[in-house]
Each structure stands twice: as structure tokens, then as C-alpha cells.
Chains A and B, each alone.
Chain A
Amino acid sequence: DAGVIQSPRHEVTEMGQEVTLRCKPISGHDYLFWYRQTMMRGLELLIYFNNNVPIDDSGMPEDRFSAKMPNASFSTLKIQPSEPRDSAVYFCASSTATGELFFGEGSRLTVL
């Protein structure tokens, strides 16, 4: 079975540009999570969805960040405009209602 698929794996962009990260959860999983990992803050939850509906977005750092899940097999995390402090590894994860979490390989973002 395919795991959680994220793209791109690496993104280098300049400050002010729009960044879109993509995620395909495991088929049949009805929860989808976006995490950000930095050296300073560790792994922090940004937002999670249940059945494509955002449930908790309290971790989204500011209005420059937005996330959507238009259907059960696709989600995006967008940063507009990007800033150097957004540089991090962004992980997508999915789970069933029983809760075991599976991660994608992450998208490493560098904003110059």
C-alpha cells in the first residue's frame, strides 16, 4: 500500500513568493494533519482535518498560512507571501479514527 505522499520534497524560493505544499493521505484515512519541524520548536501541529473539514487550525502561525482539503485524497498547505522564518520541514500525516499516525517523507522548505 502507498503511504502518505508529499510533494515537493525540496523547495527553495525567495522571500515574498507563494509556496504550495501538497499531500495525498493514505486511502481510507479520514484524518489529515500538517506538522512543521524546526530545530527551535520541534514538531508542532499546524492544522488537522477530519473528513475534509478543518477541525483545529490554532497552530497556523499567521494569516500568511492557509490549508485546504478539497477531497479525501488531496490537501494543500500554502504560504503567501513566504518569509525566511518559514524555512522548515513540513510533514503531512494521516490516520484512521483509531488514531495510529503515519507520516509522509516531508517537504523541506528554504526561503531565501
Chain B
Amino acid sequence: GIQVEQSPPDLILQEGANSTLRCNFSDSVNNLQWFHQNPWGQLINLFYIPSGTKQNGRLSATTVATERYSLLYISSSQTTDSGVYFCAVTPGQNFVFGPGTRLSVLP
């Protein structure tokens, strides 16, 4: 089946710093989503981005489907950005999740 890798596995930032999270996948996909799992365990949709670039406030994402990767940019990070960021992809309908990037933003 399709393999999903995320890097880095862990990231510690000072509040206000910028960061880039990466998702690589092993096969062609129809859909790709980024999720944020907050410290309370909720999985929150960030972007539904099978291709192209989207922006939402301090966050933006780019997927280059032909090269099988996606990037999530977080600018001016805040402590509320802490948690785990998951990339999920699907060649069909059922999403396969990457292992996540654990982000800690320090005040």
C-alpha cells in the first residue's frame, strides 16, 4: 500500500518563529489533507489540498502531486499551534495517515 513519511518527527520552536513541515508519499494520490491534533486530542482540518497552494491566516500549504510531496508552512508560530500535525493521503477513498510531526511552541 501507499507509504506516507513526515519530517521532522519533532520540532521545538520559540513563539514567533516560522516552520515548514514536509509530507512525502510513495504513490499517486487523489486527495491529501493536513490535520492538527491539539493537546486535547481533537483532529482539526487544516487543509484539503490534493494539488496547488492554499492559505489560511498564518498557515499555508502546497502540494506538488507530480513529485509526491506536500509542505505545510506555519508563520509567526503561537503556543496554540502546539500539537501533532498529520498528513493524510488517499489514492481512492480511504485515507492513509503519516506518523505526524510533533510541534512544541515555547512562550
Contacts and interface: CB of A to CB of B under 8 A. Distances in A.
Contact of B33 (A31, A33, A48, A100): A100
A108 B90 CA distance: 26
Nearest to A89: B41
Nearest to A41: B99
Contacts of A50: 93
Please name the 7 residue pairs, one residue from A and one from B, whose CB atoms are nearest each other, closest first.
A99-B31, A103-B43, A43-B97, A100-B48, A48-B94, A45-B94, A42-B99
A107 to B, nearest CB: 11
Interface string A94-108: 010001111101101
Contacts of B33: 100-101
Given A45-B94, A106-B41, 7 more contacts: A45-B96, A48-B94, A101-B45, A101-B88, A103-B42, A103-B43, A106-B43
A14 interface: no
Interface residues of A, number: 22
Contacts of A95: 93
B48 to A, nearest CB: 4
A42 B97 contact: yes
B94 A56 contact: yes
B41 A99 contact: no
Contacts of A101: 33, 45, 88, 95
B99 A31 contact: no
Given A91-B43, A105-B42, A106-B41, A99 B93 contact: yes
B85 interface: no
Nearest to A108: B41
Interface string A64-108: 000000000000000000000000010100010001111101101
